[in-house]
Amino acid sequence: MANNQYSTFLATRIVHDQEPITYRLLSRELKVHTALAKRYLYAFHTSSRSLYPDKVHATYLISGQKRPIPAISGDVLMSDVSSPPSTLPDTDVTHDDEIVQTIFELVPEEELEDAKSSFRKIDYVHVYSLEPTRLPEDFITLAECGRRVRDIDLREDPEAISKTYGTILEPVAKRQNGQPGQFASAQPNPPATNVQTKSKAPLPKSEMKQERALAEKQRPVSEPSASTSLFALGSKNTSKNHRGRPTTTEDEPSSNTIKKEIEKLESRDKKSASPFTKSVSARSDITRVKTQKKSGSSTPQSSSQVSQELQSMFSSSEDENEDKEEQKPIKAENETPKDVIGAIHDSFISDDIDLSIDKTPVNLKEEEIKSEDIEMGPAPPLEEAGTELVEQSLKKRPHGRSRRKITKEIHIKDANGFLTTKYEDVWESYSELSDEETISASRPVSAPSSAPMKKGSTVARTPKDKDAAGKKDNGAKKKQAGGGQSSLMSFWKK
Amino acid sequence: MNTMAPVASSSTLDSNYLLSDPREDESLPVFERPASSRALISKYNNDFLLKNTEKSYEQQYASLYFLRLTVLKPRVSTIAAEAWNGMSILNQRVKAVDRVLDVRQGELCWIVGTVYMEMTLKPNILDEITKEFWTTAPISKDKFADPENDAIMLEDESGRVNLVGSTIKSELLVTGCVVAVLGSETTSGDFDVIDIRYPQLAPQLPRPVSTGHERKCVALVSGLEVSGDVHESYETSMLIEYLMGELGGSDDSKRASEIIHVIVAGNSFANNRPSPLSRDEENGDSSQKKKKKYGYDSSSYNSKPTEALDSMLGDLSNSVCVDIMPGDQDPTNYSFPQQPINPAMVPRTRRFLGSGFRSVSNPCWWDVEGLRILGTGGQPIDDIFKYVEGDDRLKMMEYSLRWQHCAPTAPDTLWSYPFRDCDPFILHETPHLFFAGNQPEFKTKIIEGDDGQRVRLLALPKFSETGQLVLVDVDSLACEVVTFAAGATALD
């Protein structure tokens, strides 16, 4: 290894990219023994004092034995029986029961000398990591390095890891291949994604999301003709449409999803109830496409939201794709008509991504939360339409008809004359296709005239009779959904 | 016997050698773990494993006590007979009485039975029912012990007798241990105890003579409490690096390579269950929705701990053999014996199943290079702790061995499966190493039995609180504590 390769590497990563680098990460990146990596860090740190003053901070690791300071280690004092061997502790510890205490301590360079003096015997001192500024007390930023090390290690042969980096090898340990391995490959990344996005969403979601993102990448490969050609017709900008659909076609909704979905649909309905929508609905398909195109560009916010989340999905999946390659065959095998639909969406979605990249100011945090319903992940394709599907509200029925559960507020006067509010869940029939259509269509004017529309729609949205409401809504929407995408979709569905 | 890393002598071993300029040509050490046997003792462990298909909760718990007494009574009787038979006090010869109810007033005799502690502070199902009608002030349940009001009873198949006297009051006793007591019945019908005998340590297999070439260690850690969230303590990462032999200098790596087995003893997952209160609130408006849920509820389920632990164990299993034992916070059954954590929870690690990784029950028996190990996640000791005054965990562990029972308070206050055919917690053999996980602090000692048994008792501290890993030498039973500290805060 060229001598100055490490200094270039470290200078780039620490001084330029402002990242902390641990000896482990350095050894993985440069494929050298960890002991050598520790010395590289030291050498770089020494030279950096003149080259990059105040730009490189070191954290040291001290191993050895601490001085017996009762104040600090009162509870483990038994250990230090070894230093005054004449006195046995008052417990009935028998004769030679001396306990060696070894300590490994991480210390910032400022405290190195202090820390050293608290050791009775120092075995080793080495540079643990170099970083642009002093690390927080809990060294938590180093955890990211650990994750990257793990990712690198995963791709390598255990024996090679041992030889190259000096990791102790357990000769007995044998990695089994097969099912668990396929599972496993999805594992290492989620924490990393979480850190990036700072999302509070629980992990399964992000994992699902990744899986989904992966599927997105893979499906177009397996079904290229269907997806691309079909959507050559469609507009790129109607991302809002496609955002909803994957959920309904193939996602297995959880209570969470349902809730989100309801909220979303409700908000859409508010928009769709505008007078503008009606006029739009009267137009021909072609004009509609045009409008949508316009709408896409004139309301970057909504479309960009979608594309952002997609982008985030995508980016998270990218580094993982290698590992996941093995999952591909399974997906392909299980491909059902549903998946073909998925493929259509997905190709569409991936189109949207290009769009997103140039348009979107990134606002990932919010997007994470908003996109949960999509992230909930694809239902296992093997799941056939059955009783479950009926129970689960958002399952797709032919022609985009579906039922959903909404929470109704009911005011009742009770026996004592108090007015009480009850929340009740009711099933409501609606058509999600038309829902979505109208939204994208109505978008151009939604921004200026949003306030009055909302009022109107809330009234419409709290129906006393669910069926009637459903019909009303759907009736209106059906007209709008008459051509373009919805017919295309229904073709694929039936 | 304490092979601490020798003070740096050669140039490569200098404590500062890692603080020198790198030399490319230098050959750097690569260590490999010595081949060794690490078997689970299935003879005992099989009794801890419950097949779902065979589990039945129809039977009463009484049979467990009956089985326990049947097995342990002869053992205590032998000890008691040796000690007391032929003895006479105040010209009265001591005689053995077979059944508790056959004791006659004023007669000096010894009886054998199961101890039952009548404690007012002990949780009682009847109290729970009463609470539905009346509300009583909540009592702190850290300890059940209340020496003023507690009554100690001895029970066998025939009945129960109240034990009194200063001897018995000062003894460490818990519900469920089988003992022999010497004394006589008083006019009030109580049994005045003069002396008491336990089954004492069960026989122990001899340890193989050490070959002396290589040191071999078992590493024990408990209470990792991996949460997987952003503020995970960094000590856990250091622990993994150490066990993989990357942390520190070459002697540290060498030392780490002597570890032939790692036992993760309980509470590997952080306890971040949602509080019951918040759950209630949540249920308020969405209970109907939840009823129809299929699969896990992603809003209340957090997979981060599992994933973080999986990646950790996955790294580790490649480098050293790891056994994971559940604790009271872990995702398996709560009642004793706890069944192994389903390996499906740790998909990455599962690839090493059978070679570098095992999921074991709690309690569990091992035979590592001839060293017989018995360990629990700590619940039996925590439960005994509630019965007795003081906080001497090692004494509780010692008595547990002397009672020849590793979970005496099951099924009274330690939840347990109602075994019908055997009491799996009875010790037929004394281990060489007996550990209890998740204890408040590290403590250890060696106790010796009458027949030359030698046992290392080990109270394992919670790693999440102390950052301590305990190494036990397979040959010498010597202990070493390795502490990981990230920053000055960790040491306070």
- Interatomic CA distance for residues B386 and B334, integer angstroms: 18
Is B318 part of the contact surface with chain A (CB cutoff 8 Å)? Answer: yes
Residues above pLDDT 70, as percent of chain B: 86
Residue count (chain A): 494
Instruction: Judge whether residue B300 has pLDDT over 70.
Output: no
Instruction: Judge whether residue B362 has pLDDT over 80.
Output: yes
Instruction: Locate the domains of chain A by residue range.
Output: 5-69+105-175, 190-493
Band of residue B234 on the pLDDT scale cut at 50, 70, 90: confident
Band of residue A492 on the pLDDT scale cut at 50, 70, 90: low
DSSP string, B355-413: TTEEE--BSEEEEETTEEEEEE-SHHHHHHHHHSSS--HHHHHHHHHHTTBS-TTTTTT
**CB A356, CB A311: distance < 8 Å:** yes
Cα-Cα-Cα-Cα dihedral sign, residues A156, A159, A163, A167: positive
Least CB–CB distance from B245: residue in A39, A82, A166 = A166
Which DSSP category does B14 fall into?
Answer: -
Chain B nearest-CA distance from A452, in A, is: 30
Which residue has better confidence, A103 or A181?
Answer: A103
**CB B244, CB B33: distance < 8 Å:** no
In this prediction, residue A432 carries a pLDDT of 56
Among A321, A353, A341, A396, residue whose Cα is nearest residue A223: A341
Inter-chain CB proximity B303 and A184 less than 8 Å: no
Reported as half-sphere exposure (CB side, CA atoms, 13 A), residue A371 has a value of: 33
Domain spanning B32-56+203-274+302-491: CATH 3.40.50.720: no
Least CB–CB distance from B19: residue in A92, A115, A126 = A126
The SS3 of residue B100 is: helix
Q: Where is B241: in which H helix or E strand?
A: helix B235-243
Chain B nearest-CA distance from A223, in A, is: 30
Residue to test with chain B: of A123, A323, A423, most B Cβ within 10 A:
A123
In this prediction, residue B296 carries a pLDDT of 60
Inter-chain CB proximity A168 and B26 less than 8 Å: no
By C-alpha distance, the chain B residue nearest A92 is B445
In this prediction, residue A350 carries a pLDDT of 42
Q: Mean pLDDT: which of A12-21, B203-212, B318-327 is highest?
A: B318-327
- Segment A315-320 mean pLDDT: 42
Q: What is the pLDDT of residues B200-233, one digit of tens each?
A: 899 999 888 766 677 889 999 999 888 877 777 8
Token pair 């996005």 is found at: A197
Inter-chain CB proximity B28 and A36 less than 8 Å: yes
In this prediction, residue A473 carries a pLDDT of 47
Chain A nearest-CA distance from B301, in A, is: 8
Burial of A157-192, coded b for 16+ CB within 10 Å and e otherwise, reads: ebeebbebbbbbbbebbbbeeeebbbbbbbbbbbbb
Rg of the Cα atoms in chain B: 26
Is B311 part of the contact surface with chain A (CB cutoff 8 Å)? Answer: yes
In this prediction, residue A220 carries a pLDDT of 43
In this prediction, residue A448 carries a pLDDT of 42
Rg of the Cα atoms in chain A: 30
Strands B151-155 vs A119-131: parallel, antiparallel or unpaired: unpaired
Structure tokens at B128: 């729970």
Lowest mean pLDDT among A377-391, B54-68, B85-99, B304-318: A377-391
Instruction: Judge whether residue B3 has pLDDT over 60.
Output: no
- Interatomic CA distance for residues B406 and B403, integer angstroms: 8
Token pair 């005998």 is found at: B197
Inter-chain CB proximity A204 and B483 less than 8 Å: no
- Segment B161-171 mean pLDDT: 88
Which residue has better confidence, B118 or A217?
Answer: B118
The pTM of the full predicted model, rounded to 2 decimals, is 0.64
Pairs of CB atoms within 8 A across A/B = 327
- Segment B152-166 mean pLDDT: 90
Window 66-95 of B, Cβ < 8 Å to A: none
Q: What is the mean pLDDT of chain B?
A: 83
Burial of A430-445, coded b for 16+ CB within 10 Å and e otherwise, reads: bbbbbbbbbbbbbbbb
- Segment A288-299 mean pLDDT: 44
Domain spanning B62-197: CATH 2.40.50.430: yes
Amino acid at B273: R
**CB A33, CB A23: distance < 8 Å:** no
Inter-chain CB proximity B445 and A97 less than 8 Å: yes
Inter-chain CB proximity B4 and A205 less than 8 Å: no
- Interatomic CA distance for residues A2 and A460, integer angstroms: 73
Inter-chain CB proximity A100 and B241 less than 8 Å: no
Inter-chain CB proximity A187 and B5 less than 8 Å: no
The SS3 of residue B205 is: coil
Q: Where is B289: in which H helix or E strand?
A: helix B276-291
Lowest mean pLDDT among A269-283, A406-420, B69-83, B466-480: A269-283
Instruction: Judge whether residue A79 has pLDDT over 80.
Output: no
In this prediction, residue B140 carries a pLDDT of 56
Inter-chain CB proximity A169 and B480 less than 8 Å: no
Instruction: Judge whether residue A10 has pLDDT over 50.
Output: yes
By C-alpha distance, the chain A residue nearest B228 is A191
Instruction: Judge whether residue B274 has pLDDT over 60.
Output: no
Chain A nearest-CA distance from B88, in A, is: 33
- Segment A176-195 mean pLDDT: 39
Is B1 part of the contact surface with chain A (CB cutoff 8 Å)? Answer: yes
Is B439 part of the contact surface with chain A (CB cutoff 8 Å)? Answer: no
- CB proximity list for B61: less than 8 A, separation 6 or greater: B411, B416, B418
- CB proximity list for B299: less than 8 A, separation 6 or greater: A202, A254, A255, A256
Residues above pLDDT 70, as percent of chain A: 34
Reported as half-sphere exposure (CB side, CA atoms, 13 A), residue B492 has a value of: 3
In this prediction, residue A239 carries a pLDDT of 40
Inter-chain CB proximity A203 and B314 less than 8 Å: no
Token pair 């509630």 is found at: B386
Lowest mean pLDDT among A158-162, A188-192, A368-372, B43-47: A188-192
Instruction: Judge whether residue A438 has pLDDT over 60.
Output: no
Determine how many CB atoms are found less than 10 A away from the CB of residue A452: 10
Band of residue B359 on the pLDDT scale cut at 50, 70, 90: very high
Least CB–CB distance from A191: residue in B252, B308, B352 = B308
Instruction: Judge whether residue B275 has pLDDT over 60.
Output: no
Q: Mean pLDDT: which of A276-290, B172-186, B268-282 is highest?
A: B172-186
Structure tokens at A171: 């000769």
Chain B nearest-CA distance from A346, in A, is: 24
Query: For every residue of chain A, which 3-state class applies, written as one string?
Result: CCCCHHHHHHHHHHHHCCCCEEHHHHHHHHCCCHHHHHHHHHHHHHHHHHHCCCCCEEEEEEEEEECCCHHHHHHHHHHHHHCCCCCCCCCCCCCCCCCEEEEEEEEEHHHHHHHHHCEEEEEEEEEEEEECCCCCCCCHHHHHHHHHHHHHHHCCCHHHHHHHHCCCECCCCCCCCCHHHHHHCCCCCHHHHHHHHCCCCCHHHHHHHHHHHHHHHHHHHHCHHHHHHHHHHCCCCCHHHHHHHHHHHHECCCHHHHHHHHHHHHHHHHHHCCHHHHHHHCCCHHHHHHHHHHHHHHCHHHHHHHHHHHHHHHHHHHCCHHHHHHHHHHHHHCCCHHHHHHHHHHHHHHHHHHHHHHHCCCCHHHHHHHCHHHHCCECCCCCCCCHHHHHCCCCCCHHHEEEEEEEEEEEEECCCCCEEEEEEEEEEEEEHHHHHHHHHHHHHHHCCCHHHHHHHHHHHHCCCCHHHHHHHHHHHHHHHCCCCHHHHHHHHHC
Ramachandran angles phi, psi of B335, nearest 5°: -75, 155
Q: Where is B436: in which H helix or E strand?
A: strand B433-439
- Interatomic CA distance for residues B321 and B319, integer angstroms: 7
Instruction: Judge whether residue A99 has pLDDT over 70.
Output: yes
Window 444-473 of B, Cβ < 8 Å to A: 444-448, 466, 468
- Interatomic CA distance for residues A444 and A297, integer angstroms: 9
Burial of A269-303, coded b for 16+ CB within 10 Å and e otherwise, reads: bbbbbbebbeebbeeeeeebbebbeebbeebbebb
CATH class of the domain whose range is A5-69+105-175: alpha beta
Band of residue B425 on the pLDDT scale cut at 50, 70, 90: very high
B329-335: long-range contacts at Cβ-Cβ below 8 A with a sequence spacing of 24 or more?
B329/B225, B329/B266, B329/B267, B329/B269, B329/B270, B329/B271, B330/B266, B330/B267, B330/B268, B330/B269, B330/B377, B331/B269, B331/B306, B334/B415, B335/B415, B335/B416, B335/B417
- Interatomic CA distance for residues B403 and B396, integer angstroms: 10
- Interatomic CA distance for residues B307 and B325, integer angstroms: 17
Max Cα–Cα distance, chain B, nearest Å: 90
Cα-Cα-Cα-Cα dihedral sign, residues B94, B99, B102, B105: positive
- Interatomic CA distance for residues A125 and A106, integer angstroms: 10
Inter-chain CB proximity A94 and B394 less than 8 Å: no
- Interatomic CA distance for residues A294 and B411, integer angstroms: 72
Residues of chain B contacting residue A93, judged by C-beta atoms under 8 Å apart: 445-446
Q: What is the pLDDT of residues B21-34, one digit of tens each?
A: 777 667 777 788 88
Among B13, B44, B52, residue whose Cα is nearest residue B29: B13
- Interatomic CA distance for residues A384 and B199, integer angstroms: 62
DSSP string, B19-83: GS---TT------BPPP--EEE-HHHHHHH---TTT----S-THHHHHHHHHHHHHHHHHHHHHH
Is B244 part of the contact surface with chain A (CB cutoff 8 Å)? Answer: yes
Instruction: Judge whether residue A72 has pLDDT over 70.
Output: no
In this prediction, residue B456 carries a pLDDT of 93
Instruction: Locate the domains of chain B by residue range.
Output: 32-56+203-274+302-491, 62-197
Which residue has better confidence, A248 or A8?
Answer: A8
Lowest mean pLDDT among A436-440, B82-86, B443-447, B459-463: A436-440
